[in-house]
């Protein structure tokens, strides 16, 4: 704004106060100060351009709305929620992200949706904190993965969310991985497993965890034998989503373990209209990018440290974009 005398400065501030703080219309302000509406509009524009009035978009809670928007744009996501969580202890992050994911699910799930859930520690935290949900069917997407000292599982996860929603639960008793492919084929034909799997093509929204193929960064990695871990690392596995093993480009890697898994396939997950990944930990940048590039994850709930690293990496790669930055075109459900 050009240099003004004090009278003009006071007039500009008074008009801005009436408009932004008192909620008066431009017509009302024009009548009060004996000005034209065009003069009022010009004064309001001067107040903004000079810095006399600053407009900020803020959120009083833990969601970093600016970083959420930047990450959503950088990765081409459908939804993105980034929490500003100063304490980065895994348990704290799980609680914060679980609460944010529960709020997101409450907001976006509608009565005509079918919700699919894959077990992970972060998805389990979301289920515990979920207080309200539209009455939708809830479908188990993967078998259970037993963990020492833990009493939650894919089955309890589906039951808990279905109780909150008041909709039917489709679950089955089977492990995520079995000793051989023949056993896996037999289990998939069991009535409860077959019933749940027959509904996967109807799932419209799913919630999953994203693991990095490293110690303590993937429940499946921790459960695998040492030799198997090393072999899969040599094959280029860098991420795991619902038991699906991905390389850095998001391509599924077929292995003996794949044949022994009881759960959703990569093609089935890509066919779900929206898959929400809940992910924490600064070491998971490559894993998250792989999941998004491969079209397995469309939306993210994460925290500021990881989100900042993801935005920075995405910016570095803009000059050489990956083959698939957005979700591939959906295939018709079987």
Q: What is the DSSP string of 144-210?
A: B---TT----HHHHHHHHHHHHTS-EE----BSB-SSHHHHHHHHTSHHHHHHHHTGGG--EEEEE-
C-beta of residue 125 within 8 angstroms of C-beta of residue 90: no
Q: What is the DSSP string of 14-43?
A: HHHIIIIIS---HHHHHHHHT--HHHHHHH
Q: Taking a C-beta distance cutoff of 8 angstroms, is the pair 305, 231 a contact?
A: no
- What gap in Å lies between CA 142 and CA 73, rounded to an integer? 30
Residue 191 CA, chain-centre distance (Å), reads 32
Work out whether strand 211-212 and strand 239-241 pair parallel, antiparallel, or are unpaired.
Answer: antiparallel
Note the pLDDT of residue 217. Answer: 82
What is the C-alpha to C-alpha distance for residues 331 and 334, in angstroms, rounded to an integer?
Answer: 9
Cα(100)–Cα(299) distance, integer angstroms: 13
User: Residue 326's pLDDT is what?
Assistant: 46
CA distance 5 to 288: 56
CA distance 106 to 122: 16
Domains of the chain: 6-50 (1.10.10), 65-316 (3.40.50.1360)
Q: pLDDT value at position 330?
A: 38
Q: What is the pTM of this model?
A: 0.77
How confident is the model at residue 3, as a pLDDT? 55
**In this structure, what are the phi and psi dihedrals at residue 208, rounded to the nearest 5 degrees?**
-140, 165
For the record, the structure tokens of 203 come out as 């799932």
Q: What is the pLDDT of residue 331?
A: 38
CB 145 within 8 A of CB 242: no
What is the pLDDT, as a whole number, of residue 219? 79
Could you tell me which residues are beta bridge partners of residue 256?
none
Query: Residue 319: its pLDDT value, please?
Result: 60
Which two structure tokens, joined as six digits, stand for 325?
């930055």
3-state SS record for 205-258? EEEEECEECCCCCCHHHHHCCHHHHHHHHHCCCCEEECCEEECCCCCECCCHHH
Q: What is the largest CA-CA distance in the chain?
A: 87
pLDDT averaged per 10 residues in sequence order, the chain, 334 residues: 70 90 90 92 91 71 85 94 85 90 95 94 91 96 68 79 95 87 90 93 96 84 82 91 92 87 93 96 93 95 95 82 46 38
Are 334 and 203 in contact, with CB atoms under 8 Å apart? no
Structure confidence at residue 70 (pLDDT): 92
């Amino acid at each position: 704004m050009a240099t003004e005398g004090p009278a003009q400065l006071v007039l500009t501030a008074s008009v801005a106060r009436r408009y932004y703080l008192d909620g008066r219309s431009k017509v009302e302000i024009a009548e009060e100060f004996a000005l034209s509406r065009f003069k009022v509009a010009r004064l309001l524009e001067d107040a903004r351009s000079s810095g006399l009035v600053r407009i900020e978009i803020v959120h009083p809670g833990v969601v970093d709305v600016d970083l959420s928007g930047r990450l959503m744009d950088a990765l081409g996501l459908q939804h993105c929620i980034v929490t500003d969580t100063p304490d980065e202890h895994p348990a704290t992050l799980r609680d914060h992200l679980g609460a944010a994911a529960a709020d997101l699910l409450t907001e976006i799930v509608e009565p005509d949706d079918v919700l699919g859930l894959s077990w992970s520690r972060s998805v389990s935290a979301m289920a515990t904190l979920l207080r309200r949900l539209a009455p939708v069917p809830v479908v188990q997407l993967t078998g259970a993965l037993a963990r020492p000292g833990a009493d939650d599982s894919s089955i309890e996860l589906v039951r808990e969310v279905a109780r909150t929603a008041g909709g039917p639960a489709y679950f089955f008793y089977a492990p995520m991985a079995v000793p051989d492919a023949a056993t896996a084929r037999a289990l998939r034909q069991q009535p409860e497993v077959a019933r749940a799997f027959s509904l996967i093509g109807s799932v419209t929204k799913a919630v999953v965890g994203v693991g990095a193929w490293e110690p303590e960064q993937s429940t499946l990695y921790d459960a695998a034998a040492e030799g198997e871990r090393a072999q899969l690392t040599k094959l280029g596995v860098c991420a795991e989503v619902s038991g699906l093993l991905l390389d850095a480009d998001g391509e599924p890697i077929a292995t003996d373990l794949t044949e022994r898994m009881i759960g959703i396939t990569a093609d089935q997950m890509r066919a779900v209209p929206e898959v929400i990944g809940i992910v924490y930990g600064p070491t998971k940048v490559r894993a998250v990018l792989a999941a998004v590039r491969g079209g397995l994850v469309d939306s993210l709930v994460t925290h500021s440290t990881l989100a900042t690293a993801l935005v920075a990496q995405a910016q570095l790669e803009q000059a050489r974009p990956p083959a698939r930055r957005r979700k591939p075109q959906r295939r018709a459900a079987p």
